[in-house]
Amino acid sequence: MKTNDVIFQTVAKVVFFMIIFFAVHLFFAGHYYPGGGFVGGLLTSGAIVLLLLAFDIKTVRHGFPLDFKWLIGLGLLFSVGTAAGSLLFNVPFFTHAYNYFQLPLFGKTSLHTAMLFDLGVYLVVIGVTMTIIQTIGESE
């Protein structure tokens, strides 16, 4: 008998976005409230895992046509780049800079290079989690 996961799949499609938004929120809020790149990344991959459960690896791969291993490299590059960027301004490695800007739509917002570093963490965590799960899932 062929099972029909229509309810699960439909719910997953909706819940996926809720999780993703929550994850993005956690990521952006990290500097001021609990959260940050690590939890954000884990939740993001959790959302993708939900899709994996509801559909299958092929479908998800079709939806996210990227190799997650590249994400690891990209994340590490972001992190190291942020840390090394401070050298260009003649300050020690890993010196962050921040300032407040008046942005349209957002109003007064602080922009912080730590965010770029955290973005690296975020990407690495997604890449690592997805690589592990995908690899194990595909293996016979």
Partner 1 sequence: MSLLHWAILAPFLMAVFVPLIHKRAAAIHTGWFVLILPVLLFGMFLQYLPVTRENSSITETASWIPSLGINFTAYIDGLSLLFALLITGIGSLVVLYSVFYLSQSKEKLGHFYVYLLMFMGAMLGVVLSDNVITLYMFWELTSISSFLLIAYWYDRERSRYGALKSMLITVFGGLMMLGGFLVLSLMGDTFSIRELAAQALELNKDPLFGLAMILVLLGAFTKSAQFPFYIWLPDAMEAPTPVSAYLHSATMVKAGIYLVARFSPIFAFSGYWFWIVGAVGLFTMTWASFNAVKQTDLKGILAFSTVSQLGLIMSLLGVGAASLHVESLDDNLFITAVIAAVFHLINHATFKGSLFMAVGIIDHETGTRDIRKLGGLMSLMPVTFTLSVIGAFSMAGLPPFNGFLSKEMFFASMVHLLELDLFQMDTWAILFPVMAWIGSVFTFIYSIMIIFKVFTGRFQPEKLEKKPHEAPIGMLVSPIILALLVVVFGLFPNLLSYSLIQPAAAAIVPSILPPGGQLDVHISFWHGFKPELFMTIGVIVIGILLYKLMPKWIKMYDYMPGKVTLNQLYNASLYAAERGSNAITNSYMTGFIRSYLMYIFVFFIGMLGFTMWAKEAFHYDASAAAPIGLYEVSLIIVLVIATATILLAKSRLTSIIALGGVGYTVSLFFVIFRAPDLALTQLVIETVSTALFLLCFYHLPKLSRHEEKRRFQAGNALVAAGVGIMVTLLGISAHSSKFFTSINDYYVENTYKKAGGENMVNVILVDFRGFDTLFEITVLAVAALGIYGLIKLRLEKGGETNENK
What residue ranges bind partner 1 (CB under 8 A)?
26, 29-39, 42-43, 46, 69, 72-73, 75-76, 79-80, 83, 94, 96, 98, 110, 112, 114, 117-118, 120-121, 124-125, 127-129, 131-132, 135-136, 139-140
Give me the least distance between CB of 117 and partner 1, in Å please: 5
Q: Of 10 and 70, which CB lies nearer to partner 1 in the complex structure?
A: 70
The rounded distance, in Å, linking the Cα atoms of 16 and 20 is: 6
Nearest approach, Cβ of residue 65 and partner 1 (Å): 19
Smallest distance from the beta carbon of 5 to partner 1, in angstroms? 19
**Least Å from the CB of residue 31 to partner 1:** 4
Residue 32 is classified by DSSP as T
